[in-house]
Amino acid sequence: MNRRRVVITGMGTVNPLGHNVQDTWSALLAGRSGVSKTELFDASTFPSTFSAQVKGYDLSQDMPDTTKHRHAGRHCKFALGAALQAWKQSVLAECDALDPRSLGIYLGSGEGSLDFDNFTSLMIDAWEDGKINTRKWAALAKDRMDLHRETEQESNMVLAHLASEFGVRGPAFNVLTACAASTQAIGEAALQIRRGDADVMISGGAHSMIHPFGVTGFNRLTALSTRNDEIAGASRPFDLTRDGFVLGEGASILIIEEYEFAKARGAKILAEIVGYGSSADAFRITDQDPGGQGASGSMTVALQDAALSPADIDYISAHGTGTKQNDQVETRALKAVFGALAGKVPVSSIKSMIGHLIAAAGATELITCVLAIRDQILPPTTNYHHPDPDCDLDYIPNEPRKTDVKVCMSNSFGFGGQNDTLIVTACE
């Protein structure tokens, strides 16, 4: 029995480089940095005073009447905007054959920004005799905590807003596997379609962690770059002088559907998802298996799922965070999978420009793979000036590259050892 094919018919994004797909793509090919001094809170005393923030975005850019979603959190508004862009491109609104019960949603969405000012003021006011007086806390919270604002911090609220907006009656899931979340969500959404549980899936990811808690956690893990005197060049994946990633935020959403369904309604097919692989490191909570066994495992499974060999891959969108360990491990994993071909397959990390969007990273990077196939050009790894003997592959340094591109692999490796890989091709 032939399995159902899965194709991409719509894409949308709101991120530090652009509020839509084309603006983002143009910025990436121009090598522009989305990194700036952090403005979402006063980070002047933090080890990292900069981040990749979404600036100037208003949901009304994509939705004339935002009343229904007026309580939506920051990351949720990004996701709504990205989803509306993708939905518009897919032209599904004009499809009478779409049964809401065959329309599903699978997101890799993180928590929203917390209301730290209000939370800490409540703690201070309820503090008595060296601890929080819980009775006083409850009384104060009743009057001073916004119910809508608090519930919007739950990671599944993005799913709820999108399901409501598009009338989803089919399968609905949210996964939060750290940096691998949206890649895993898209892969699992594709499996829903293959199995026949849905004809169309809204999938992707959203996250906004640029707040004191998020930055403090990553700083304490020494995962963030502290290059405060050179912020535009702070994110430098695979470079010998890399010192950590730059925290970003945003959302990217794709519309994926069963090939025959898309073909029958005359949809413009952007690419086909042919391979998905997932694995766990089973190593440590705080770092990756140094041998890259988990990462190589997800790539191997994705190739097997796609019935492709390493020689068929024209481009690899790397996870490429810019931390010492991640880039070494990913390089080792690529060598293990691609063998003698490893140095010949172009690899790049757009995190060098856009920052690390955490749960939204994988979906954003998959979109760039689709665009690379469309335009036959590969985005660069910027800020790459000092080769690392332990990272010795072709990382497309600093300038985009015109080349023949038909098959792309996209990697996402999450904190805690979750690894996910997608393979997309031009659709024939």
Contacts of 407 (CB under 8 A, 6+ apart): 308, 312, 313, 314, 315, 423, 424, 425, 426
At residue 272, does pLDDT exceed 60? yes
The half-sphere exposure of 30 on its side-chain side, counting CA atoms within 13 A, is 11
Kindly report, residue by residue over 328-368, the tens digit of the pLDDT: 999 999 999 999 999 999 999 999 999 999 999 999 999 99
Residue 179 falls in the annotated catalytic set: yes
* Domains of the chain, earliest start first: 7-113+153-425 (3.40.47.10), 116-151 (no CATH)
Residue 356 falls in the annotated catalytic set: yes
Residue 71 falls in the annotated catalytic set: no
Mean pLDDT of 256-277: 97
Assess contact for 86 and 12: CB atoms under 8 A: yes
Confidence of residue 153 (pLDDT cuts 50, 70, 90): low
Beta bridge partners of 256: 8, 201
Q: Burial code of 307-327, b = ≥16 C-beta within 10 A, e = fewer?
A: ebebeebbbbbbbbbbbbebb
Amino acid at position 405, single letter:
V
Mean pLDDT of 176-183: 95
pLDDT at res. 121: 80
Amino acid at position 129, single letter:
D
Mean pLDDT of 246-250: 97
From residue 64, alpha-carbon distances to 58, 60, 162 in Å are 10, 5, 16
High-pLDDT (> 70) share of the chain, %:
96
pLDDT at res. 111: 77
Q: Which of 284-293, 318-327, 404-413 has the lowest mean pLDDT?
A: 284-293
Q: Burial code of 233-270, b = ≥16 C-beta within 10 A, e = fewer?
A: bbbbbbbeebbbbbbbbbbbbbbbbbbebbeebebebb
Q: Which of 32-46, 177-191, 274-288, 386-400 has the lowest mean pLDDT?
A: 274-288
pLDDT at res. 393: 98
Report d(CA 314, CA 425) in Å as an integer.
Answer: 10
pLDDT at res. 256: 98
Burial of 153 (0-12, 13-18, 19+ CB in 10 A): middle
Kindly report, residue by residue over 120-144, the tens digit of the pLDDT: 788 888 898 888 888 888 888 877 7
Q: What is the mean pLDDT of the chain?
A: 94
At residue 420, does pLDDT exceed 70? yes
pLDDT at res. 152: 58
Assess contact for 50 and 229: CB atoms under 8 A: no
pLDDT at res. 88: 97
76, 179, 369, 391: which is the annotated catalytic residue? 179
At residue 151, does pLDDT exceed 80? no
* pTM for the model: 0.94
At residue 77, does pLDDT exceed 60? yes
Confidence of residue 327 (pLDDT cuts 50, 70, 90): very high
Mean pLDDT of 217-244: 96
pLDDT at res. 284: 82
pLDDT at res. 191: 98
Helix (H, G, I), strand (E, B) or coil at 52: strand
At residue 116, does pLDDT exceed 70? no
19, 69, 207, 319: which is the annotated catalytic residue? 319
pLDDT at res. 1: 59
High-pLDDT (> 90) share of the chain, %:
81
Confidence of residue 324 (pLDDT cuts 50, 70, 90): very high
pLDDT at res. 364: 98
At residue 113, does pLDDT exceed 80? no
Report d(CA 373, CA 407) in Å as an integer.
Answer: 7
Amino acid at position 143, single letter:
D
Confidence of residue 279 (pLDDT cuts 50, 70, 90): very high
Tokens 């084309």 -> residue: 22
Instruction: Find the helix or strand (DSSP H, E) in which 382 lies.
Output: none
Q: Which of 63-72, 99-108, 117-126, 336-345 has the lowest mean pLDDT?
A: 117-126
Kindly report, residue by residue over 370-386, the tens digit of the pLDDT: 999 999 999 999 999 99
19, 211, 356, 391: which is the annotated catalytic residue? 356
